[in-house]
Amino acid sequence: MIIEVSQLRRYFKKVAAVDGLTFGVERGAAVGYIGANGAGKSTTIKMLTGILRPTSGTVRTCGLEPLRQRRRLARRIGVVFGQRSQLWWDLPLRDSYRALGAIHRIDHRPRLAELAERLDLGSFLDTPVRQLSLGQRIRGEVAAALLHAPELLILDEPTIGLDVLSKERLRAFLVEQRAAFGTSLLLATHDMGDVRRLTERILLVDHGRLAYDGTLDGLARHAGAERTLVLDLTEPAAPLDAIPGARLVGVEAGGLRQRLSFAPGSTTVAAILAAVAATAQVHDLTVEEPDIEAVVRELYQSPSAATSAGVPGRGLAASPPAFPVRRDGARP
Amino acid sequence: MVEPYLVLARMHVRAQTAYRGSFVIEVFASVGATVTGVCELYVVFANVPALGGLTLRAALLVFALGHVSMSLADLFFGHLDALPGYLRSGAFDAFLLRPLPVLPQLIGAELSLRRLGRTVAGSVLATAVLAGIGIRWTPAAAGLVALTVLCGSAIFAALFTAAAAVQFWLVDGAEVTASFVYGGQYAAQFPASVYPGPLRTLFTFVVPASFVAYLPVLTLLRLPPPPGLPPWIGWCTPLAAAGAWAIALLGWRAGLRHYTGTGS
Amino acid sequence: MWPTLFALGFRRWSAYRTAALAGAFTNCVFGLIRSAVLIAVVGTAGGALAGYDRATAATYVWLGQALIGPVQLFGWSELAQRVRTGDIAIDLARPADPMLAYLAADLGRATFALLPRGLPPLVVGALVTGLALPHTPAPYALGLASVALATALSFACRWLVNLSAFWLLDLRGPMTLYLVVSGVLCGLVVPVHWFPGWLAAIAAATPFPSMMQAPTDVLMGRSGSQTLVVQALWLAGLLGAGRAGFALGARRLVIQGG
Question: Could you please report the per-residue DSSP string of B45-112?
Answer: HTT-SEETTEEHHHHHHHHHHHHHHHHHHHHHHGGGGGHHHHHHHTTTHHHHTSSS-HHHHHHHT---
Question: Do chains A and C touch, with touching meaning 3 or more CB–CB pairs less than 8 Å apart?
Answer: no
- Quote the minimal CA–CA distance from A72 to chain B in Å: 6
Q: Report yes or no: C124 and C65 within 8 Å, Cβ to Cβ.
A: no
pTM here? 0.81
**CA dist., res. B234 & res. B250, Å (int):** 26
B132 inside 8 A of chain A by CB: no
Asked if pLDDT for residue A321 goes beyond 70, the answer is: no
**CA dist., res. A73 & res. A83, Å (int):** 22
Asked if pLDDT for residue A317 goes beyond 50, the answer is: no
**CA dist., res. C98 & res. A317, Å (int):** 68
* Residue B264 forms part of a structural domain: no
Residue-level pLDDT at B245: 96
The region of weakest confidence among A39-48, A161-170, B59-68, B167-176 is B167-176
Over range C134-139, report the average pLDDT.
88
- Quote the minimal CA–CA distance from A47 to chain B in Å: 9
The three-class DSSP label of residue A142 is helix
Residue-level pLDDT at B216: 92
Q: Report yes or no: A184 and A29 within 8 Å, Cβ to Cβ.
A: yes
Confidence of residue B89 (pLDDT cuts 50, 70, 90): confident
Instruction: Report the candidate in A151, A143, A33 with the shortest Cα–Cα distance to residue A96.
Output: A143
Asked if pLDDT for residue A311 goes beyond 60, the answer is: no
Residue-level pLDDT at A309: 35
- B9 compared with A252, residue with greater pLDDT: A252
Q: Which amino acid is at B18?
A: A
What angle is formed at CA A316 by the lines to CA A313 and CA A322, rounded to 5 degrees? 155
Residue-level pLDDT at A301: 62
The region of weakest confidence among A187-196, B214-223, C56-65 is A187-196
Q: Phi and psi for A24 in degrees, rounded to 5? A: -140, 150
**CA dist., res. B220 & res. B144, Å (int):** 7
* Residue B89 forms part of a structural domain: yes
Confidence of residue A300 (pLDDT cuts 50, 70, 90): low
The distance of Cα C215 from the centroid of its chain, to the nearest Å, equals 10
Residue-level pLDDT at A319: 34
**CA dist., res. B50 & res. B45, Å (int):** 7
Residue-level pLDDT at A302: 52
Residue among B171, B175, B180, B186 with most chain C CBs within 10 A, to mutate? B175
Residue among B2, B3, B98 with most chain A CBs within 10 A, to mutate? B98
B98 inside 8 A of chain A by CB: yes
For residue B142, the enclosing domain spans 3-258
Confidence of residue B2 (pLDDT cuts 50, 70, 90): low
Q: Order of strands, edge to edge, in the sheet holding A227-233?
A: A246-252, A257-262, A227-233, A282-288
Residue among C16, C28, C30, C32 with most chain B CBs within 10 A, to mutate? C32
Asked whether the beta carbons of residue C170 and residue B186 sit closer than 8 angstroms, the reply is: no
pLDDT over 70 percentage in chain A: 88
**CA dist., res. C217 & res. C64, Å (int):** 10
Q: Which amino acid is at B235?
A: W
Residue-level pLDDT at C237: 94
Stretch (H or E) spanning A302: none
Confidence of residue C234 (pLDDT cuts 50, 70, 90): very high
CA C26, C31, C34, C37: dihedral to nearest 10 degrees?
A: -130
**CA dist., res. A8 & res. A105, Å (int):** 34
Q: Which of B219-250 are b and which e, b meaning 16 or more Cβ less than 10 Å from the residue's Cβ?
A: bbbeeebbeebeeebbbbbeebbeebbebbee
* Residue B82 forms part of a structural domain: yes
Asked whether the beta carbons of residue A98 and residue B11 sit closer than 8 angstroms, the reply is: yes
Q: Phi and psi for C224 in degrees, rounded to 5? A: -130, -135
Confidence of residue B229 (pLDDT cuts 50, 70, 90): confident
Beta-carbon pairs below 8 A across chains A and B = 66
Helices (H) then strands (E): counts for chain B: 13, 2
Q: Round the average pLDDT of chain C to a whole number and report it.
A: 86
* Residue B263 forms part of a structural domain: no
The distance of Cα A99 from the centroid of its chain, to the nearest Å, equals 29
- B75 compared with B11, residue with greater pLDDT: B75
**CA dist., res. C241 & res. B227, Å (int):** 56
**CA dist., res. C117 & res. C23, Å (int):** 7
Cβ partners under 8 Å of residue B214, min gap 6: B62, B188, B190, B191, B192
What angle is formed at CA A82 by the lines to CA A316 and CA B100, rounded to 5 degrees? 95
- C176 compared with A48, residue with greater pLDDT: A48
Residue-level pLDDT at C15: 59
Instruction: Report the candidate in C186, C13, C31, C190 with the shortest Cα–Cα distance to residue C107.
Output: C13
Residues of chain B with Cβ-Cβ distance to C49 below 8 Å are 47
Q: Which amino acid is at A322?
A: A
CA-based end-to-end distance of chain A: 29
Confidence of residue A320 (pLDDT cuts 50, 70, 90): very low
Instruction: Report the candidate in A327, A299, A288 with the shortest Cα–Cα distance to residue A214.
Output: A299
- A115 compared with A221, residue with greater pLDDT: A115
Asked whether the beta carbons of residue A71 and residue B8 sit closer than 8 angstroms, the reply is: no
DSSP track, A8-23? EEEEETTEEEEEEEEE
Q: Report yes or no: B162 and B253 within 8 Å, Cβ to Cβ.
A: no
Stretch (H or E) spanning A247: strand A246-252
**CA dist., res. C43 & res. C59, Å (int):** 15
* Residue B101 forms part of a structural domain: yes
CA-based end-to-end distance of chain B: 30
Highest mean pLDDT among A67-81, A84-98, A152-166: A67-81
Half-sphere exposure of B193 (CA within 13 A, CB side): 19
Q: Round the average pLDDT of chain A to a whole number and report it.
A: 83
A302 CB burial (10 A radius; 0-12, 13-18, 19+): middle
Q: A97: alpha, beta or left, given left = phi > 0 and alpha = psi -120 to 50?
A: alpha
Q: Phi and psi for A201 in degrees, rounded to 5? A: -145, 145
Q: Report yes or no: B126 and B61 within 8 Å, Cβ to Cβ.
A: yes
Instruction: Report the candidate in C80, C101, C92 with the shortest Cα–Cα distance to residue C159.
Output: C80
For chain C, which chains pass the contact test of at least 3 CB pairs under 8 Å? B
Asked whether the beta carbons of residue C172 and residue B195 sit closer than 8 angstroms, the reply is: no
Residue-level pLDDT at C67: 92
- Quote the minimal CA–CA distance from C1 to chain B in Å: 34
Over range A36-42, report the average pLDDT.
83
**CA dist., res. A276 & res. A270, Å (int):** 10
- A312 compared with C242, residue with greater pLDDT: C242
Residue-level pLDDT at A98: 92
Residue-level pLDDT at B13: 66
Q: Report yes or no: C66 and C27 within 8 Å, Cβ to Cβ.
A: yes
Q: Which amino acid is at C5?
A: L
**CA dist., res. A2 & res. A20, Å (int):** 19
Number of independent structural domains in chain B: 1
Asked if pLDDT for residue C22 goes beyond 60, the answer is: yes
Residue among A86, A87, A141, A151 with most chain B CBs within 10 A, to mutate? A86
Pairing between strand A246-252 and A201-206? unpaired
Confidence of residue A212 (pLDDT cuts 50, 70, 90): confident
A332 CB burial (10 A radius; 0-12, 13-18, 19+): middle
CA C244, C249, C251, C257: dihedral to nearest 10 degrees?
A: -170
Asked if pLDDT for residue A175 goes beyond 90, the answer is: yes
Which of B29, B48, B199 has its CB closest to that of C173?
A: B29
Which of C29, C45, C177 has its CB closest to that of B179?
A: C29
The three-class DSSP label of residue C44 is helix
Confidence of residue A318 (pLDDT cuts 50, 70, 90): very low
Beta-carbon pairs below 8 A across chains B and C = 98
Asked whether the CA dihedral C157, C163, C168, C170 is positive or negative, the reply is positive
Residues of chain B with Cβ-Cβ distance to A85 below 8 Å are 91, 94
Crossing angle of helices B56-77 and B139-166, in 10° steps, is 50
Half-sphere exposure of C48 (CA within 13 A, CB side): 2
SS3 content of chain C, % helix, strand, coil (to 5): 80, 0, 20
CA distances from A95 to A89, A98, A103, A227, C8 (A): 10, 5, 12, 43, 46
Integer-rounded Cα Rg, in Å, for chain B is 19
